[in-house]
Amino acid sequence: MFNKTDGVALPRHVGIIMDGNGRWAQHRGRARTNGHTEGLKNARRIVEAASRRGIRYLTLFVFSTENWKRAAQEVEFIMSLVKQHLTRELDFYRENHIRVRHTGDTDGLAADILSEIKQALGDTQDFDGMHVILALNYGGRNAIVRAARRFLLQGGATAREAAAALDEDGITQNMDNPDVPEPDLIIRTAGEFRTSNFLLWEAAYAEYFITDKFWPDFSTEDLDAALAAYAARERRFGAMTR
């Protein structure tokens, strides 16, 4: 197990594309919704493990801006799971000192979910442990557009002046959670080699770890394997190798 005392490079911020819930269920002859239930249970286990290992920020891809294309029944099920989780897990967050955050477009989320998110953010805001950022109704492109809009609305400048002033920092500082550092490591389960619109802006220099395991089967040992792989990477950020 890797933890703060092992002296290996520990990512400060890990993002997880929790994919493969549907396939996990289908392989067992169960309804896809059952895969989401198991996926949520696993998210709880991995959150706890990541926090124990000393990771400071963990972004979980819960629901994308494209996931609305799914059957209404599946979408409703996922939203009700999220809501249940937010209402029932305050003790879990308190015990683990975890601070809950949200990233994603609040436009398009139902009022009841929004109020649960707001409540969870408020209830956990003083906890000093790991930040868990729930990416819900999240799309990387959507996030960049919203950041650009915030930037442009800041000044009373003309459109021409605002456009000339727009730079990379202007976008970075106007993302949903500008205090959260860029992800160092992005884990994707279920074997797909694509970003699916996750953290497009922030992951410019993230390291990727992809495993064939479906999300409900992704274990703490798999998390350790991802952390070990990360520790062995050489990050160059475009510069020359040593």
Q: Catalytic residue numbers? A: 19, 67
Q: Using the rule CB under 6 A, give the single segment among 16-24, 82-90, 152-160, 164-172 that binds ligand IPE.
A: 16-24
Is the CB of 28 or the CB of 236 nearer to ligand IPE? 28
Closest CA to 46 of 5, 98, 103: 98
Q: Which of 42, 59, 64, 96 binds ligand IPE (CB under 6 A)?
A: 64
17 binds ligand IPE, rule: CB under 6 A: yes
Beta strands in the chain (DSSP E): 13-17, 57-64, 99-103, 131-138, 185-188, 207-210
Q: Using the rule CB under 6 A, give the single segment among 106-114, 161-169, 190-198, 202-210 that binds ligand IPE.
A: 190-198
Smallest distance, ligand IPE to C-beta of residue 149, A: 24
The token duo for 4 is 């703060």
Rounded to whole angstroms, the Cα distance separating 188 from 166 reads 32
Is the CB of 10 or the CB of 185 nearer to ligand IPE? 185
Q: Which of 10, 18, 50, 187 binds ligand IPE (CB under 6 A)?
A: 18
Instruction: Report the partner that residue 192 touches, choosing among ligand IPE, Mg ion, none (CB closer than 5 to 8 A by kind).
Output: ligand IPE
Q: Which of 6, 9, 12, 23 binds ligand IPE (CB under 6 A)?
A: 23
Rounded to whole angstroms, the Cα distance separating 63 from 46 reads 17
Cα 52 from chain centre: 18
Instruction: Report the partner that residue 185 touches, choosing among Mg ion, ligand IPE, none (CB closer than 5 to 8 A by kind).
Output: none
Rounded to whole angstroms, the Cα distance separating 115 from 120 reads 9
CB 32 within 8 A of CB 25: yes
Size of residue set near ligand IPE by CB under 6 A:
17
> How open is the CA angle 91-77-145, to the nearest 5 degrees?
85
Using CB under 5 A as the criterion, which residues of the chain lie in contact with Mg ion when the complex forms?
19
Rounded to whole angstroms, the Cα distance separating 108 from 119 reads 18
Is the CB of 167 or the CB of 192 nearer to ligand IPE? 192
Instruction: Report the partner that residue 21 touches, choosing among ligand IPE, Mg ion, none (CB closer than 5 to 8 A by kind).
Output: ligand IPE
DSSP structure class, residue 4:
G
192 binds ligand IPE, rule: CB under 6 A: yes
CB 94 within 8 A of CB 53: no
Query: Which residues sit at the interface with ligand IPE, rule CB under 6 A?
Result: 17-23, 61-64, 67, 78, 190, 192, 194, 196
